[in-house]
Homo-oligomer: A and B are copies of this chain.
Amino acid sequence: MTARALTGPVLVVGAGLLGTSIGLALRRHGVPVLLTDVNAPNLTLATGLGAGEEWDGVRDVELVVVAVPPDHLADEISRFLGCSAAVVTDVGSVKSAPLRQVAARVDAATLRRYVGSHPMAGSERSGPFAASGVLFDGRPWAVVPHPGADPGAVSLVTELARLCGATPVTLSPAEHDLAVARTSHLPHLVAALMAGRLTEAPEDHLALSGQGVRDVTRVAAGDPGLWQQIISANADAVAELLGDVRADLDRLLTAVREGERGSLGELLERGRAGTAAIPGKHGGPAQVLGELYVAVPDHPGELARLFSDASEIGVNIEDVHIDHDPGRPVGVVELAVAEDRVDLLQESLEARGWTTHR
């Protein structure tokens, strides 16, 4: 199928994190964007950020993107299918339940213009202030057509995902919901179960928290009201996986209590295998990066001098992390560069007087 160009205007319904980010991404490509939201301050902020113009009610748009909370998806999708001739998509986290609700409200010919979608990007922060035009860069974006969807509409929604910088992945609604139950909803609930155990801990116990517990629990900081709606909309798939986890947890509990090292080891091995099953961050083979640590005195000019030196050496820096500790006069900057450039960077920086460490 030839890709259908997306020229707009695109109407984004809901100027939260996702809606505003889509507006910002489309504006970077010059696509006209109209925004609407029942929350006036959100709308003002999103238009002020440059995510699009405030919608004046005109219905002659090419594509409507419904980016509202899960409980309101079916209402808004049905409304815009009814009041315009545009292709309508949404960015909700669950696809089967809203589709059933919409199909019960509009006729089959109208339903052809609806193609659900779901960008796999987000943040534990919410609202337009957390939005970014690069939120979707390199992320998967599920395009989820129902069997009766118009091929042109599918193509247009696929193009939306591409223009936003994402990698489109086509799945049926049922497959999509099973997939996100496992890769998104279950991880969220598991993180919440773990984080819940921290609320009863003494402060001096929590002082021992390292990076591990922070990572395991990070997503649980997300908006409970929103996640309650998401989980409820995908309850069957989530409940089945939770049941599987409970069976494993029972085995684990017995293994720990009875000192059965073999069963404990099997569970840990299976966990390790699971982490290896997740594909590379950008959905393709990951670029191989190497790290170089550089000691940098903690005042403004030094970081500039480091980057200036790296620039003169001609090595492109792919990522930077500054391990900042206010109590120390020297910070450590971790530079990630292509693996075959680490030697050159290290030798050249050392020659310029920097202290480095692999």
Q: Which residues of A contact B (CB under 8 A)?
A: 24, 49, 118, 120-122, 129, 132-134, 137-140, 142, 165, 169, 171, 175-176, 178-180, 182-184, 186-199, 201-222, 224-225, 227-228, 231-232, 235, 238-239, 241-246, 248-250, 252-253, 256-257, 259, 261, 264-265, 267-279, 281-283, 287, 293, 298-301, 303-304, 306-308, 310-312, 314-328, 332, 357-358
Contact = CB atoms under 8 A, between A and B. Distances in A.
Given A205-B179, A261-B228, A268-B192, A278 B184 contact: no
B241 A246 contact: no
Copy count, this protein chain:
2
A214 B252 contact: no
A155 B327 CA distance: 21
Given A184-B208, A224-B272, A232 B213 contact: no
A86 to B, nearest CB: 26
A320 B318 contact: no
- Looking at chain A's contact residues, the main secondary structure is helix
Best-buried of A165, A195, A314, A319 by chain B (most CB within 10 Å):
A195
A274 B231 contact: no
Given A192-B271, A232-B261, 10 more contacts: A165-B325, A176-B208, A178-B205, A179-B202, A187-B212, A190-B216, A192-B274, A198-B274, A199-B270, A232-B264
A325 B208 contact: no
B213 A267 contact: no
A318 B324 contact: yes
A218 B203 CA distance: 25
A301 B220 CA distance: 39
A277 B198 contact: yes
Contacts of A301: 311
Contacts of A132: 293, 332, 357
A187 B182 contact: no
Contacts of A201: 179, 182-183, 277
B293 A316 contact: no
Given A196-B248, A308-B304, A316-B298, A253 B239 contact: yes
Given A256-B231, A267-B193, A310 B300 contact: yes
Given A134-B323, A207-B279, A307-B304, A216 B239 contact: no
A190 B183 contact: no
A304 B257 CA distance: 56
Given A204-B169, A282-B325, A189 B300 contact: no
A171 B137 contact: no
A42 to B, nearest CB: 15
A48 to B, nearest CB: 10
B210 A120 contact: yes
Q: Which 3 A-B pairs have the closest CB atoms?
A: A192-B271, A195-B274, A179-B205
Contacts of A227: 268
